[in-house]
Amino acid sequence: MTGPLKVALLGCGTVGSAVLRVLQGQADELGARIGRPVEVAGVAVRRPAHHPDVPAHLLTTDAHALVTRDDVDLVVEVIGGIEPARSLMLAAFEAGKSVVSANKALLADDGVALHAAAAKAGVDLHYEAAVAGAIPILRPLRESLVGDQLSRIVGIVNGTTNYILSRMAETGAGFGEALAEATELGYAEADPTADVDGFDAAAKAAILASLAFHTPVSAADVHREGISTVTATDVARAAEIGCTVKLLAICERVPGEDGDSVAVRVHPAMIPTSHPLASVGGAFNAVFVEAEAAGQLMFYGQGAGGEPTASAVLGDLVAVARNRMTGAPGPGVTGYANLAVRPMAETPTRYHVSLDVADKPGVLAAVAQEFATHDVSISTVRQTGRGDAATLVIVTHSAPDAALSATISALREMPAVRGVTSVLRVEGLS
Ligand code: HSE
């Protein structure tokens, strides 16, 4: 092979323009690391007039023609969304080109078919930037940790929600106020649904679980709850027991009598302030991995933004370019374990519950009986009195999530319970 490796860039938004800047500004360095010069063949955008900084001869609105051009070797897809990204990726594979993508929604939706198409074509599909921005986590799962048995991944993989929850903890603000501040400062999008309702984190959880457990997991398999129902009371109650509230993406291998399964969920939860994830503040991301031989590992860094995300894209680009040089794709993704996905109702969790109750004989016994009726064991109970009223704070042991939520429904119906003021799952408490 002679001449430079040519890269087609699909999309030139925040991430694409940062990728282009580095590709053009550090072409010599990147070429030296690859072992062959690298250059941009073209940049596909919807509205060329919106990109005055991109040399006009590189711009095109015909992305399909660009990815299938004979002189293009590698494709970087940073358009996002399902279509046309999926069709363009498939066209790239069919034309024998490796793809680097930052597209979590597409990979979480259709990762199995895309990997199959890449494998059939004998090319690479890498997407480090799709999960936790700059943080190297997918390659560690695909390569460094592939000899180990992973039991659990717990991630803070959405910076917007982590910023909001961090501000709620720092200021005592409610969700609405903290969201307004995040929007004002540019940490939340004008339409924050994907972040706040956990869709973004669920897509990332699906990708993490698929790689960690060698099992196809799609976004539809992930139990998802967002943070809009987290109240200032929840955050205050967490602080009272030495915890903080985080939106967690939890991927775990759950042993069972009829074989192991995987449980993948995204929801707010209290974690002890001593847990390494508790100190991940603001818009930062972190992924905590538990593996049989390696033990506990934590990966921390910037989960969003043009430059940090471009770092991950360019790392993948160098990797797939090197493979192109050797003439063989790198290690693919395996789904051989094909473990069943355990429904949330059957997934073991722990709850922290705060109740306003009448302070009279028999109330605590009646409340405890509701837990017992649903076969939920109580770990701790704390009561504070206020005249004829009291607050009961209960932390359970682990039980199937359905049993815990049925207990809460029953408590809401009890005459002695004046209000269920806070319900959150807890993770990592001993
Ligand atoms: N919107 C995401 C976040 C970044 O807030 O972390 C891109 O995945």
- Kindly state the helix (H) or strand (E) to which residue 187 belongs, with its residue range: none
In this prediction, residues 346-350 reach a mean pLDDT of 96
Q: What is the DSSP letter of 421?
A: E
State the distance from the centre of ligand 1 to the C-alpha of 284, rounded, in angstroms. 10
Over 90: is that where the pLDDT of 349 sits? yes
Distances (CA, A) of 385 to 84, 390, 411: 60, 4, 19
State the distance from the centre of ligand 1 to the C-alpha of 396, rounded, in angstroms. 32
**Considering the entire predicted model, what is its pTM?**
0.97
The set of catalytic residues is 204
Question: Peptide bond before 84: cis, by omega within 30 degrees of 0?
Answer: yes
In this prediction, residues 222-234 reach a mean pLDDT of 98
Closest ligand 1 atom to the C-alpha of 161?
A: 5
Options 3.40.190.290, 3.10.440.10, 3.40.50.1820, 3.30.360.10; CATH for 138-302 is: 3.30.360.10
Mean of the per-residue pLDDT values for the chain?
A: 97
Beta strand segments in 51-144, E: 59-60, 74-77, 98-101, 125-126
pLDDT for the residue numbered 102: 97
Over 80: is that where the pLDDT of 51 sits? yes
- DSSP per position, 22-56: HHHHTHHHHHHHHTS-EEEEEEE-S-GGG-TTS-G
Across the chain, how many H-helices and E-strands are there?
A: 14, 18
pLDDT for the residue numbered 193: 97
Distance CA 250, CA 265 (A): 5
Please, what sign has the CA dihedral across residues 87, 88, 89, 95? positive
Distance CA 79, CA 76 (A): 9
pLDDT for the residue numbered 385: 83
Over 80: is that where the pLDDT of 282 sits? yes
What class is the 345-426 domain?
alpha beta
Which residues of the chain form CATH 3.30.360.10?
138-302
- Ligand 1 binding site (Cβ under 6 Å of any ligand atom): 158-160, 195, 200, 303-304
Over 70: is that where the pLDDT of 31 sits? yes
pLDDT for the residue numbered 1: 59
Which residues of the chain form CATH 3.30.70.260?
345-426
Question: Given the structure tokens 């279509």, which residue do they identify?
Answer: 83
pLDDT for the residue numbered 2: 72
In this prediction, residues 285-308 reach a mean pLDDT of 97
Which residues of the chain form CATH 3.40.50.720?
5-133+306-326
Closest ligand 1 atom to the C-alpha of 159?
A: 6
Please give the annotated binding residues for L-homoserine, written as ranges.
189
Residue 411 contacts residue 370 (beta carbons within 8 Å): yes
Residues 106-128: tens digit of each pLDDT: 999 999 999 999 999 999 999 99
Residues 361-394: tens digit of each pLDDT: 999 999 999 999 999 999 999 999 878 899 999 9
pLDDT for the residue numbered 386: 76
Return the residue whose CA atom lies nearest to atom 2 of ligand 1. Answer: 158
Strand pairing category for 125-126 and 98-101? parallel
Candidates 158, 163, 313: which one to mutate for ligand 1, based on the most atoms within 8 Å of Cβ? 158
Task: Determine whether 375 is exposed, middle or buried from the number of CB atoms within 10 Å of its CB (0-12, 13-18, 19+).
Answer: exposed
Tell me which CATH homologous superfamily contains domain 5-133+306-326. NAD(P)-binding Rossmann-like Domain (3.40.50.720)
Residues 304-338: tens digit of each pLDDT: 999 999 999 999 999 999 999 999 999 889 999 99
Q: What percent of the chain has pLDDT over 70?
A: 100
